[in-house]
């Protein structure tokens, strides 16, 4: 597999598999893996406690600072918390990276969000809240994605393979586009001009 990119960032809704796929992807690419939620928890304590103590607004500011630092690295795969893309500065920064949107649905994530109760935004009515946040944020994920990968019904190794293939296609499309002097739009089948 050709070397696809120096900075690959995984975005998508809560429990879409960003951390597990990010770790596997980094291994396959020989890159370092950083999970922004984990960095936040290591520095500031659990995300639930942070939300309870400081509120969502403060969490978003901390998160944006952590993401900025992680994106200063090269040869890195970064998985972001589901709401990190709400920050305009983060979205701007992501324009300099290859962004992978891991898409999913409530049926796929349901067992995970019920099992892992550490997500403050899903503390009450988890399924309904997940769906509301997904509906709100999906256009944002799609608009910043270099590639979109459907994770429904796929295992972590299968999603990782699909991401690597989509990144390689994206790379080829961009190369051909530059050669032909044209640009491409993201049709969600795998490619867009977002990556460099
Ligand atoms: C959040 C997603 C979480 C975590 C926090 C807020 C969100 O990360 O950052 O609970 O707003 O979507 P995951 O997407 O890894 O669950």
Atom of ligand 1 nearest to the CA of 120: 10
Mean pLDDT of the residues in the chain: 90
pLDDT at 6: 84
Q: CA–CA separation, 173 vs 34, rounded Å?
A: 27
pLDDT above 50 for 184: no
Atom of ligand 1 nearest to the CA of 16: 14
Tens of pLDDT, residue by residue over 8-63, are 999 999 999 999 999 999 999 999 999 999 999 999 999 999 999 999 999 999 99
Q: Is 5 in the pocket of ligand 1 (CB under 6 A)?
A: no
Residue 182's alpha-carbon distances to 17, 144, 146, 172, 188, in angstroms, are 34, 19, 16, 13, 18
Name the band, by pLDDT with cuts 50, 70 and 90, for residue 176. Answer: confident
Residue 166's alpha-carbon distances to 163, 178, 179, in angstroms, are 5, 18, 20
Probe ligand 1: pick from 33, 35, 43, 82, max atoms within 8 Å of CB?
82
> Model's pTM, two decimal places?
0.89
Which residues share a beta bridge with 150? 103
Tens of pLDDT, residue by residue over 102-133, are 999 999 999 999 998 899 999 999 999 999 99
How would you write 49-74 as a 3-class SS string?
Answer: HHHHHHHHHHHHHHHHHHHHHHCCCC
């Amino acid at each position: 597999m050709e070397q696809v990119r120096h900075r690959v960032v995984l975005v998508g809704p809560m429990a879409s598999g960003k951390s597990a796929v990010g770790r596997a992807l980094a291994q396959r690419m020989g890159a370092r893996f950083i999970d922004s939620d984990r960095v936040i928890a290591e520095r500031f304590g659990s995300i639930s406690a942070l939300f309870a103590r400081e509120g969502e607004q403060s969490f978003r500011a901390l998160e944006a600072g952590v993401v900025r630092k992680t994106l200063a690295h090269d040869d890195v795969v970064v998985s972001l918390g589901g709401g990190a893309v709400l920050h305009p500065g983060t979205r701007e920064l992501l324009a300099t990276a290859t962004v992978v949107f891991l898409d999913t649905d409530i049926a796929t994530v349901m067992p995970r969000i019920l099992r892992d109760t550490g997500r403050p935004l899903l503390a009450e009515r988890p399924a309904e809240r997940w769906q509301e946040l997904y509906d709100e944020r999906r256009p944002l994920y799609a608009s910043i994605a270099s590639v979109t990968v459907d994770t429904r019904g796929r295992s972590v190794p299968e999603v990782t393979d699909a991401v690597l293939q989509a990144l390689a296609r994206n790379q080829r499309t961009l190369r051909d586009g530059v050669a032909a002097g044209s640009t491409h739009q993201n049709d969600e089948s795998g490619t867009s001009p977002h990556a460099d």
